[in-house]
Amino acid sequence: AQKVTQAQTEISVVEKEDVTLDCVYETRDTTYYLFWYKQPPSGELVFLIRRNSFDEQNEISGRYSWNFQKSTSSFNFTITASQVVDSAVYFCALITGGTSYGKLTFGQGTILTVHP
């Protein structure tokens, strides 16, 4: 069975601080996909990134960056120079093969609050 753990329940920062959201996953499959989603107060989940298990390259998109390390089964998300609009719940998620194919396993979510 697969599992995603986001150990940080809540994080509070002041605007312009950098913040890293941790994500650790468990799976026995060699082929899997990792995701990050943002859920602002409006409720809709917004897709941020997808990574497959064969691509360990880190990625940067504006103020967002992701660090994927298979050796530690981690897929951490860093926001540089945080802004108030970054306040949301962030979910890390996993899809694996086999009978679970296509089904997202979500972490518990991290509530990020950015204060002005």
Min CB(29)–another protein separation in Å = 13
Q: Cβ closer to another protein: 33 or 64?
A: 33
* Residue with Cβ nearer another protein (62 or 102): 102
Q: What are the residues binding another protein (CB under 8 A)?
A: 33, 35, 37, 42-47, 50, 91, 95, 102-104, 106-109, 111
The residues near 97 (Cβ < 8 Å, ≥ 6 apart) are 29, 31, 32
CA-CA-CA-CA torsion for 36, 2, 110, 59, nearest 10 degrees?
A: -30
Nearer to another protein by Cβ, of 16 and 103: the residue is 103
DSSP3 helix / strand / coil % (the chain, rounded to 5):
10, 55, 40
